[in-house]
Each structure stands twice: as C-alpha cells, then as structure tokens.
Amino acid sequence: MKRSTLLIIAAVLVLLLAAGAFLLSRGRSAEHGAAKPKEAAAQPKPALTVTVAKPEASELTITLAANGNVAAWQEASIGSESTGLRLADVRVNVGDVVKKGQVLATFSPETVQADMAQARAALAEARATAADAAGNAARARTLQATGALSQQQINQYQTAEQTAKARVQAAEAVLAAQQVRGRNTQVLAPDDGVISSRTATVGSVLGAGTELFRLIRQGRLEWRAEVTSAELSRIAVGTPAVITSASGAQVSGKVRSIAPTVDPQTRNALVYVDIPGVQETSAVKAGMFARGEFQLGRSSALTVPQAAVVPRDGFNHLLVLQADNRVAQLKVETGRRVGDRVEIRTKLPDDARIVVQGAGFLNDGDLVRVVDATPAKRSAP
C-alpha cells in the first residue's frame, strides 16, 4: 500500500510539472506574438510615394526681355497735287500690294486739257508776235547806218523784240505747268509697298495736298522695343530677337539700329528690330503691342523639372531626398525657363536627388517611398 501510494503521488507530480511547463511555454509564445504587432506599429509609414530626379546641366540661351510696339518701317503719305479737279477713279484699296509708278487713282482731265489747249494757243500767238518783232528789229538795224531812222526808233524796235521773246518764254512756262497738271491727273505710287489706309472717294473735288492714301514702304515692319538704359549696352546691331504677339504667335527679327538718345522721362531707349514684312507673315500687324526677347548668347546652367519647384511663402523650394528616405526642404533661386525645365541658381549637392512627382504634397522631414518614373506613353499617330 505504501509503495502504490508513492507511485500515485509521483505520477501526479509529473503531470503537474508537465502542465506547468506547457502553460509557461504557451504564455511566452503569446507574449512574443503580441510584441511583433507592437514593433510593426512602432515603425513609421511613408507619407507618399514619389519619383526623384537628378539635376541636369544644360546649355541655355541668355535673353533680355522687352516690350514695344510694332510699326511700319516708313509710311508714305500719297496726296493730290492738283486743285479743283474731280476724282474720277480709285483703283486700289486697303491691303493691296502696289509697285512703284503704279496708277492708284485718276482725276477728270477735261479741265486740264482745256487749259492746255489755251496755253498752246497763247504760246503760238506769242511766237508769232515775237517773229514780227524780230523782223522789225532786223530791218531797223539795217537802216541804222543810213540815218533813215532815229536811234530812239531803233531802240524801240529792239525793245519790242526782247519783250516778244520774254512773252514766248512765259507762254512756254504756262504750257509746261499745264502739262504737269495733266500728268498729275494720275496719282502714282512713290514706292513698292502695301496700302495701309485710303481716304479717296470717287466724285470728290479735292484741293492740293489732300491725302488720298497711306503706303507702308516696301511692306517692311519693325518692332520698337523699349530697353532700360542699364541694359542698353548688352544689345548690339545684328542681335537676333524673338517677338511674341498678343495671340502667342512668334516671329524672328534682327536689331537694325539703336536710338542715340534715352527718354528723360522713362529712362528707356528705343531699339529698332526688323521683322518679316506684311506679305511674309500675318502674325504681327502695324500698331500691335508685342513682347519679345533679345538672344544675347548661351551659358551652362543647372536645371530641374518644373514640377519639382514648390512655391511656398513667396519663395521657391526643392525637396531633396536624404539617405533615410526623408525629404529636406531647400529654398532656391530660380532663373530661366525652357520648356518644362527650370534653371536653379542656388548651389546643390553633387549627388542631390530631387523629388519630382508629389513634391507639392510633402513637408520638411516627411518619409517617402521612391519609385521609378513611368515613361510617358507616346500617342499613336
């Protein structure tokens, strides 16, 4: 009995020890399993998935911006040279391209033709009178030696001869003036160009000097850019320029001349840029206001994508990726823009990586996840 009791007690102790060991191991495993979520929860999560890019060195054009008006190179005023004539025909209109010597308008010639006929008749009469006076003077000179005529009478015949010759010259001048009036019945173009305005009306009777047309000589246009006196020395004759109209159309030009004086009120000087004429382009017209840039040369620059530049608090910033995948906000100074690239004038680290996509949603110190930039899909032709 004692032996069996001892065996039972020993068996019970073994069972109790086994149960205790099982419960202890289970508790440890439970504590270990609970520690893993706590550790996972303690690790920070990335704020955003972003793409990064490295700054690139590029060759950019050095430009100087300016504003100004587009005007005609030279504008000719074409008027009437005759007085009291009726305008019979107008052959051109605004926008027509004309050649030098082309007939633009004609006046009624009847009055001038009648005046010319009268002048010819007066000239013929003066010539006949001059011939008679010359004959009388010649006879008087032959009789001078004989004494048949007094010296006074001979002088009278010679004076009549000179007077008759002067009357012939006056009649010839009157006829020449009438012939000029006859030629002035046709209004001719003084140069090649484009008609920019027309005030001529058929049937009107005009005085001398009345303007009938305005002509853009040779169809040439120019951009009169206003440049400050401080920047004027950077521009030279022959400098190329790109002019942008209000519609966004661009034309190329070249500096023809620079004004020798500066406006004392605005401290600006005019720079005259030759641009394509009226016949060559319809993007710009005389009288337009346009902005443009002078191409002063090229220089190397560090550029980043425009999406990487974040404007905040009145300044531009870049978000630079650190080694621990956190971003650091850096205030930078921007410069020229070419396409989707922006020049950065602030010195950056040599191995800098700049956040591009998603930069506007991040703050200084945010943790990010970096992925490769997805190449843009090309549209099917």
CB of 194 within 8 A of CB of 221?
no
Distance CA 214, CA 94 (A): 9
Residue with token string 């995948």: 325
Distance CA 61, CA 346 (A): 18
**pLDDT digits (tens), the chain, 381 positions:** 567 777 777 777 777 777 777 777 766 665 555 545 555 455 678 778 888 888 888 888 888 999 999 999 999 999 888 788 889 999 999 989 999 999 999 998 888 888 889 999 999 999 998 888 888 888 788 777 777 777 788 788 888 889 989 999 999 999 998 888 888 888 999 999 999 999 998 988 888 888 999 999 998 999 999 999 889 989 999 999 999 988 888 899 999 999 999 999 989 999 999 998 877 877 888 889 999 999 988 888 888 998 889 998 889 999 898 888 888 888 999 888 887 888 888 888 888 888 998 888 888 888 888 887 654 443 333
Distance CA 239, CA 9 (A): 113
Which has the closest alpha carbon to 86: 187, 203, 213? 203
Distance CA 175, CA 165 (A): 15
Largest CA distance in the chain: 212
Phi, psi of 128 (to 5 degrees): -65, -45
Which has the closest alpha carbon to 227: 73, 69, 64? 64
CB of 275 within 8 A of CB of 244?
no
Residue with token string 């019945």: 185
Domains by residue range for the chain, with CATH: 48-61+300-370 (2.40.420.20), 65-73+219-296 (2.40.30.170), 79-107+185-218 (2.40.50.100), 109-183 (1.10.287.470)
